[in-house]
Structure 1
Amino acid sequence: MADERTRTYSWSDPLAALELAAGLSGVELMQKMAAGELPQPAIAETLGFRLTAAESGRAVFEAEPAEFHYNPIGTVHAGLASTLLDSAMGCAFVTTLDAATAWTTLDLKVNFTRPITVETGRIRCIGTVVHPGRRVATTEGRLEDLRGALLAHATGTILVLSA
């Protein structure tokens, strides 16, 4: 059997984090998370990525590809890229919302342009809002290496559930 590796990580209670965020607008929430004043979501801790910047209509995440992201063919699993893109696009949309507005991703279309490996180095995912509709919104995202090479890009549709 191949050399076994172990990974240990921790995360904050997601429901307690929701309470800390009560009353914050979407952009305030995302900016506090990016600044480390609020915890990153559990999925970010699980996959090893972080929200690093947020402003109205835009959110940026970064990750360092690692072996634990690999699929059976020796590249980073498409699920990491998809999760980063969904997170960046969703959080970009959150920055346009008032406090306590519920929403969900309706559609996510991802195009992969280059394989990602440990050798790729740190990757950055930028999500932007294309159309901030009152009921349905559209977003787009770009996943790049730090030299700006495009690794994947996506579009998304978001449904606003409550306002």
Structure 2
Amino acid sequence: MTDLTNTTSRTRTFSWENPRQSARIVRKLSGLQTLDASLRGEFPDPPMAHLLGTTLIEAEYGWAVFTFTPAEFHCNFFGTVDGGMITTVVDSALGCAIQSTLPAGDYGVTQGLQLRFLRPLPLDAGPIRVEAEVILVGVATATAQARVVDEDERQYVYATTTFLIYRR
């Protein structure tokens, strides 16, 4: 058996700003206005984005794209990107796509999330895109789908979600 206790230790540090400050502003904007303001850097990214190293790079009505580059701190025991990491980024992208369709004061929360992992996501996959698009927004629920792809359009995950919509 290999002795794994003599590995080189690594450290990752990050900082974030108080998310409650942004939340007060966000409540007054439509979902799309919020995402546009975020893209312009008018308020800080959520702490989760700093923790995981993800970035919102595109937002339109019913559409959102996040990106990240796989890193060691995303790894599972098998040396690939952990499914929980992928699930978190997919949920964020789907939530932003749905939020982009909602008026000021309304918001959605995940009711159900289904992911189909098509292949392992290796650390050397390069920049990854998580593309999410809305399928339908109703009075009380919304549905959306997402895919996780690399620069060569190789797909790693397909996902669908249902969000509960809370209307003001």
Fold in common (TM above 0.5): yes
Report the counterpart of residue 49 of structure 2 in structure 1.
44
In the TM superposition, what whole-angstrom CA distance separates every residue of 1:120-151 from its partner, at most 9, and x where no partner exists?
01100011100111111111001100111101
Scaled by the length of structure 2, the TM-score of the pair is 0.93
Report the counterpart of residue 11 of structure 1 in structure 2.
16
Report the counterpart of residue 145 of structure 1 in structure 2.
150
- The 5 Å alignment of 1:56-75 reads 56-75=61-80
Residues of 1 paired with 2:82 and 2:128: CA distance?
Answer: 14
C-alpha RMSD over aligned residues: 1.1
Residues of 2 paired with 1:74 and 1:59: CA distance?
Answer: 28
Question: Is there any run of 5+ residues in structure 1 with no aligned partner, and where?
Answer: none
Report the counterpart of residue 111 of structure 1 in structure 2.
116
Question: Is there any run of 5+ residues in structure 2 with no aligned partner, and where?
Answer: 1-5
Report the counterpart of residue 34 of structure 2 in structure 1.
29
In the TM superposition, what whole-angstrom CA distance separates every residue of 1:27-78 from its partner, at most 9, and x where no partner exists?
0101111222221111111111011110100000000100000001111100
- The 5 Å alignment of 1:95-106 reads 95-106=100-111
> CA shift at 1:162, angstroms?
2.6
In the TM superposition, what whole-angstrom CA distance separates every residue of 1:87-122 from its partner, at most 9, and x where no partner exists?
111100000001121321000000111211221011
Contact 2:98 2:108 in 1 (8 A): no
> CA shift at 1:85, angstroms?
1.1
Is it true that 1:55 corresponds to 2:60 in the alignment? Answer: yes
Q: Which of structure 1's runs of 4+ aligned residues deviate more than 3 A?
A: none
Contact 1:66 1:117 in 2 (8 A): no
Q: 1:157 aligns with which of 145, 158, 162?
A: 162
- The 5 Å alignment of 1:123-142 reads 123-142=128-147
